[in-house]
């Protein structure tokens, strides 16, 4: 039975224990399988793994997950709406709430997974600014597609604001970038020929051996400035006893000197050592290589086991002549 209501009566709030049975029922009615114990486990996120419900007149009519563990990344997980309330804006309200909460907390890259063949789902997410980042196998819908959205104030948002006619492209497969095979998102201004390219680590879908999708590097061509930056992991795992090492590569392909600054962006209890230099002069055509370690302190309390990927991520804000970029490195967490 379809129900009529107004969205102003819809309330989005955190999941509570009293909601467990109703949320399980919504999953069952939607053809998904989950136990009450599974729903209760969503309450154990410690502030990093959040579940929100849409409530209408005391009844739960929708649910969504939002993971905000490693800035600037946030993952939206499994929007589920009661069949009687589908197509009425409940899913949109849950999406809007998640994006607001993510940006409010400084998580300005929001990503999610969807079926590569479901055009209706693609249309829904594109309304909120999501772009394809890692394409799934069109012959096998189980290898889902990853979509990314870049929030207000991010360096991608600024590039698009300054280049409103930019054309978007995404690579179907991995491409070569500085000796690595990575997925690529690219925006090109057809008028100025300015270009921003992001290179992503990850894989279609969510295999057990997989790693969290993230921006490993970027290439920026803006006026006379042409630069490349990349984070290369030196190891596959990280633990409290064994740090995760990575190499930061930067190349100034411009004809003039640029000023480079690096700023760590990490979760509580995660540190990059040694501390990156705050300000560097990089000569024209110069290449720069720096080595860092990502260390977990005793204050690291993120329940990684409940994330979609048991990956620890650390990032650097890379500023070139005041223009920001981002590189991230990630490792499989070993408790």
Q: Quick check: 123 and 110 in contact, CB under 8 A?
A: no
Res. 136 pLDDT band, cuts 50 70 90 = confident
- Beta strands 73-81 and 109-114, pairing class: parallel
Res. 140 pLDDT band, cuts 50 70 90 = low
Is 121 inside any structural domain? no
CATH number at residue 22: 3.40.630.30
Query: Domain range holding 149?
Result: 145-333
Model confidence pTM above 0.75: yes
Q: Does the pLDDT of residue 4 top 70, yes or no?
A: no
Is 205 inside any structural domain? yes
Structure tokens belonging to residue 121: 């789902």
Looking at the fold, whether 211 and 293 belong to one and the same domain comes out as yes
Looking at the fold, whether 271 and 172 belong to one and the same domain comes out as yes
Domain final residue, candidates 40, 73, 97: 97
pLDDT in tens, 198-247: 999 999 988 888 899 999 999 999 999 999 999 999 999 999 999 999 99
Where are the alpha helices (H) located in 47-169, listed in sequence order?
90-104, 119-126, 155-162
Structure tokens belonging to residue 13: 């709030």
CA dihedral 260, 265, 266, 268 (to 10 degrees): 130
* Angstrom distances, CA of residue 195 to CA of 163, 183, 221, 261: 9, 16, 5, 21
Looking at the fold, whether 234 and 171 belong to one and the same domain comes out as yes
4 Cβ partners below 8 Å, 6+ apart?
A: none
How many structural domains is the chain composed of? 2
Looking at the fold, whether 164 and 308 belong to one and the same domain comes out as yes
Looking at the fold, whether 326 and 187 belong to one and the same domain comes out as yes
Looking at the fold, whether 159 and 84 belong to one and the same domain comes out as no
- What is the distance, to the nearest Å, from the Cα of residue 213 to the centroid of all Cα atoms in its chain? 7
Q: Does the pLDDT of residue 56 top 60, yes or no?
A: yes
In the prediction, which pLDDT does 143 show?
75
Structure tokens belonging to residue 120: 């209706």
Domain final residue, candidates 97, 115, 130: 97
Is 192 inside any structural domain? yes
């Amino acid at each position: 039975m379809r129900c009529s209501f107004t969205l102003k009566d819809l309330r989005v709030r955190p999941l509570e224990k009293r909601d467990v049975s109703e949320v399980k029922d919504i999953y069952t009615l939607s053809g998904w399988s989950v136990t009450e114990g599974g729903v209760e486990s969503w309450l154990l996120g410690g502030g990093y793994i959040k579940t929100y419900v849409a409530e209408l007149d005391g009844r739960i009519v929708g649910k969504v997950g939002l993971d905000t563990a490693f800035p600037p990344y946030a993952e939206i997980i499994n929007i589920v709406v009661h069949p009687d309330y589908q197509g009425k804006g409940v899913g949109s309200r849950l999406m809007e709430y998640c994006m607001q909460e993510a940006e409010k907390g400084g998580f300005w890259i929001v990503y999610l997974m969807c079926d590569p063949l479901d055009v209706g789902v693609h249309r829904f997410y594109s309304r909120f600014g999501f772009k394809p980042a890692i394409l799934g196998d069109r012959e096998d819908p189980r290898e889902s597609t990853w979509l990314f959205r870049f929030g207000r104030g991010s360096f991608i948002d600024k590039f698009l604001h300054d280049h409103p006619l930019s054309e978007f492209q995404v690579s179907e497969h991995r491409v070569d970038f500085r000796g690595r095979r990575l997925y690529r998102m690219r925006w090109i201004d057809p008028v100025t020929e300015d270009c921003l390219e992001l290179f992503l680590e990850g894989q279609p879908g969510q295999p057990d051996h997989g790693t969290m999708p993230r921006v490993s590097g970027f290439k920026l061509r803006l006026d006379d400035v042409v630069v490349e930056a990349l984070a290369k992991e030196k190891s596959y795992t990280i633990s409290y006893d064994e740090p995760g090492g990575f190499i930061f590569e930067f190349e100034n392909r411009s004809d003039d000197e640029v000023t480079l600054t690096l700023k760590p962006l990490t979760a509580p209890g995660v540190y990059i050592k040694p501390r990156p230099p705050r300000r560097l002069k990089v000569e024209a055509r110069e290449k720069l290589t720096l080595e860092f370690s990502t260390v977990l302190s005793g204050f690291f309390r993120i329940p990684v086991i409940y994330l979609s990927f048991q990956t620890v991520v650390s990032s650097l804000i890379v500023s070139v002549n005041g223009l920001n970029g981002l590189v991230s490195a990630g490792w499989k967490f070993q408790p």
